[in-house]
């Protein structure tokens, strides 16, 4: 029969070998593929990827017991400004641990935050260079904030204290300015920041005519989980957005990539609100200064014109006297000329009338003589044409129904006709 070890015995041998051959602490570079807290302990899954194709080439589990984790976690967040999360590269100090029942794992005793900050800075620099290469890094800076920026699209968590502070400061400003805000809710920490904020930007873009500026804010609590604002896709979306974007994501460390590409970057939501109020106050002051300048210019113009009118008023009596004398002389001359012309015209017309009177009497007498002769001739003609003259000469006139009969065919049997003679008349019946 073969000699065999139990699994426990074999694992115990492995533990003894590891404890003998690897008794020290080791610094190891790795990427967090998973991290979770259970009853105060932190459990991590570590991974190393091929630098050319991103394929995992090594994996291991790591643990940080609660006593150590209570010290490491807040220190890391304070230095880096964010929580440990999946996808983050870290430098861990570990000791080997092998348990007969639970297998192998690394025990984390320390984490170097400066290594992570260096990696974060490198990644941010790569993103910035890529944005500059695409020509979009400064596009937001080229947009001008409208003079009356009062319609504000807000991208924030609905329950964030910073959002409430932002609205309160806008509504209770000392100048009485009116702002309208519309919230587009988004996740502002953790791994879903990028996707959520881009979705909110897309919603704003569909209503873009209703807004003057976009505000991305977060606030309240620790300044952690900010890595979501250091991504290329989010920065590219913000850089290409057609409205000015203001950020106030509540941190005091180096600016995020989002801050760098935004039109205006401020530290906190209340600072963004103060900026918008100050912007409107500046515009209001410029308007008041313009009004004052216009009023002063009009007053100076009126004073100048008043002085000019005063000087003209002083000259008017003298000018009027000169003009009056000149016009009076002109009127007198015109009146004399008019009287002379009228008298000359009257004399000419009187002479013409005398001449017409001399020619009119002979013409009238000649015209009367001609007309009297014509009347005499007409009278003789009328006398000769009198029917009674014809009757006296032996002619007769036949009448039918009071009218002279000129055509016998117009009469028919039984018609009564009257024949008028010089003396008397005869009635006849047509047979």
390 vs 300 pLDDT, higher one: 300
pLDDT at 253: 55
pLDDT at 223: 46
| pLDDT tens-digit series, residues 112-121 | 988 887 777 7
Beta-bridged to residue 44, according to DSSP, are 35, 62
Of 98, 93, 89, 155, which Cα lies nearest the Cα of 120?
Answer: 89
Mean pLDDT estimate for the chain: 85
What is the band of 101 on the pLDDT scale with cuts at 50, 70, 90? confident
DSSP 207: T
Tokens of 356: 């017409």
Q: Residue 132 and residue 139: Cα distance in Å, rounded?
A: 10
Tokens of 385: 């044409």
pLDDT at 291 over 80: yes
307 vs 219 pLDDT, higher one: 307
pLDDT at 208 over 90: yes
Which strand ranges, in their side-by-side order, compose the sheet holding 403-404?
A: 403-404, 397-400, 416-420, 425-429
What's the Cα-to-Cα distance from 109 to each of 264, 342, 377, rounded to whole Å?
Answer: 41, 133, 163
pLDDT at 1: 54
pLDDT at 224: 47
Lowest mean pLDDT among 154-163, 215-224, 308-317, 337-346: 215-224
pLDDT at 128: 84
| pLDDT tens-digit series, residues 20-66 | 888 889 999 999 989 999 999 999 999 998 877 778 899 999 999 99
Q: Residue 137 and residue 239: Cα distance in Å, rounded?
A: 6
| pLDDT tens-digit series, residues 344-398 | 888 888 888 777 777 777 777 888 888 888 888 887 787 767 677 767 777 778 8
What is the band of 274 on the pLDDT scale with cuts at 50, 70, 90? very high
9 vs 277 pLDDT, higher one: 277
What is the band of 279 on the pLDDT scale with cuts at 50, 70, 90? very high
Of 154, 166, 301, which Cα lies nearest the Cα of 215?
Answer: 154
- Identify whether the C-beta of residue 168 lies closer than 8 Å to the C-beta of residue 290: no
pLDDT at 156 over 80: yes
Lowest mean pLDDT among 9-18, 42-51, 208-217: 9-18
What is the band of 430 on the pLDDT scale with cuts at 50, 70, 90? confident
């Amino acid at each position: 029969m073969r000699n065999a070890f139990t699994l426990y015995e074999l694992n115990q041998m492995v533990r003894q070998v590891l404890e003998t051959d690897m008794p020290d602490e080791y610094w190891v570079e790795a990427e967090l593929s998973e991290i979770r807290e259970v009853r105060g302990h932190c459990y991590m899954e570590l991974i190393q990827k091929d630098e050319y194709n991103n394929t995992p080439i090594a994996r291991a589990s790591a643990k940080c017991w609660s006593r150590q984790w209570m010290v490491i976690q807040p220190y890391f967040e304070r230095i880096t400004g964010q929580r440990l999360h999946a996808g983050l590269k870290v430098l861990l100090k570990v000791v080997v641990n092998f348990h007969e029942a639970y297998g192998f794992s690394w025990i984390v005793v320390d984490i170097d935050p400066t290594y992570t900050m260096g990696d974060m800075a490198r990644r941010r620099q790569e993103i910035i260079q890529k944005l500059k290469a695409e020509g979009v890094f400064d596009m937001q800076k080229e947009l001008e904030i409208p003079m009356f920026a009062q319609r504000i699209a807000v991208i924030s968590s609905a329950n964030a204290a910073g959002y409430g502070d932002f609205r309160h400061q806008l509504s209770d400003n000392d100048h009485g300015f009116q702002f309208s805000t519309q919230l587009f809710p988004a996740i502002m920490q953790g791994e879903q920041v990028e996707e959520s904020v881009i979705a909110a930007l897309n919603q704003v873009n569909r209503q873009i005519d209703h807004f003057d500026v976009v505000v991305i804010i977060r606030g309240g609590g620790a300044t952690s989980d900010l890595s979501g604002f250091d991504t290329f896709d989010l920065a590219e979306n913000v850089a290409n957005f057609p409205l000015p974007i203001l950020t106030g994501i509540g941190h005091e460390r180096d600016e995020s990539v989002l801050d760098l590409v935004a039109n205006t970057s401020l530290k906190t939501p209340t600072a963004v609100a103060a900026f918008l109020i100050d912007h409107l106050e500046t515009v209001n002051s410029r308007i008041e200064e313009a009004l004052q300048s216009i009023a002063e210019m009009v007053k100076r113009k009126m004073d100048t014109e008043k002085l000019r009118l005063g000087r003209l008023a002083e000259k008017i009596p003298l000018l009027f006297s000169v003009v009056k004398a000149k016009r009076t002389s002109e009127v007198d001359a015109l009146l004399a000329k008019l009287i002379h012309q009228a008298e000359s015209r009257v004399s000419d017309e009187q002479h013409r009338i005398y001449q017409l009177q001399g020619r009119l009497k002979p013409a009238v007498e000649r015209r009367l003589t001609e007309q009297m002769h014509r009347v005499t001739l007409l009278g003789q003609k009328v006398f000769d044409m009198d029917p009674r003259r014809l009757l006296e000469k032996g002619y007769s006139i036949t009448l039918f129904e009071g009218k002279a009969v000129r055509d016998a065919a117009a009469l028919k049997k039984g018609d009564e006709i009257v024949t008028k003679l010089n003396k008397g008349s005869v009635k006849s019946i047509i047979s």
